[in-house]
C-alpha cells in the first residue's frame, strides 16, 4: 500500500463531443474558449494532476464553467473521463486505476471509501457559524433540520434549512 498519498490523479481530462485534431489548439486559456470552433466539442477539464496526502483536504476552486464539477463527477465515478487515471491507496493498494473498476467495485468504492457533498446552487453559508462556534440566536432564527415543518401560523420563509411552512 502506498503510504505517501491517499489519492493520486494523473492527467485527468473530460471531453464532451467527438473531438478533432484542433480541439487542443482551439480551447483553453490562450484561446479563451472551452468549446472547439471546428467540431463543437467541449473540453470541460484537461490535464488535472495532483497527489492528496494523508490528513490533507482538497479544495477545487475556479471560475464558473472551469470544470470543477466535472473533475469531481469523474473522481466520484459518476462520469467516465476521456483520458487520465486516478488511484486510491485503499483500492488494490493504490496500484490500480479506479476508472478501470467494475460496476460492483465502483459501488463498493462509493459506499465504503468515498464521500462527496454535492454542490447546491440555492444553498448559502449559514451566517451563525464562524470560526467553529455558533453565535447565539433566538429559537425563531435557528435553522430547522431538513424535512421539519414550522407549525406556527404564517411560519417563517422557507429556506434550504427549513421545511415548507
Q: What angle do CA 137, 138, 142 make, to 5 degrees?
A: 70
Q: In 3-state terms, what secondary structure has residue 86?
A: strand
Res 4 pLDDT > 50: yes
pLDDT digits (tens, 9 = 90+) for 76-127: 999 999 999 999 999 999 999 999 999 999 999 988 888 777 666 555 555 4
Cell numbers representing residue 103 in the block: 460496476
Grid-cell match 451566517, residue found: 127
Span 142-160, pLDDT tens digits: 444 444 444 434 444 444 4
| Per-residue cell: 42 | 467541449
Q: What is the rounded CA–CA span in Å between residue 99 and residue 79? A: 10
State pTM to two decimals.
0.68
Q: What sections of the chain are H helices per DSSP?
A: 23-26, 68-75, 103-112
Amino acid at each position: 500500500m502506498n503510504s505517501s498519498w491517499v489519492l493520486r490523479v494523473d492527467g485527468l481530462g473530460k471531453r464532451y463531443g467527438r473531438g478533432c485534431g484542433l480541439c487542443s489548439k482551439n480551447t483553453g486559456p490562450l484561446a479563451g474558449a472551452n468549446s472547439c470552433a471546428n467540431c463543437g466539442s467541449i473540453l470541460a477539464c484537461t490535464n488535472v494532476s495532483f497527489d492528496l496526502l494523508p490528513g490533507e483536504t482538497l479544495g477545487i476552486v475556479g471560475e464558473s464553467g472551469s470544470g470543477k464539477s466535472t473533475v469531481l463527477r469523474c473522481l466520484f465515478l459518476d462520469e467516465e473521463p476521456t483520458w487520465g487515471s486516478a488511484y486510491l491507496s485503499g483500492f488494490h493498494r493504490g496500484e490500480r486505476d479506479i476508472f478501470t473498476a467494475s460496476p460492483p467495485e465502483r459501488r463498493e468504492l462509493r459506499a465504503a471509501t468515498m464521500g462527496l457533498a454535492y454542490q447546491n446552487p440555492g444553498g448559502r453559508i449559514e451566517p451563525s457559524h464562524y470560526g467553529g462556534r455558533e453565535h447565539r440566536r433566538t429559537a425563531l432564527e435557528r435553522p430547522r433540520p431538513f424535512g421539519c415543518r414550522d407549525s406556527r401560523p404564517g411560519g417563517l420563509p422557507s429556506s434550504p434549512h427549513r421545511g415548507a411552512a
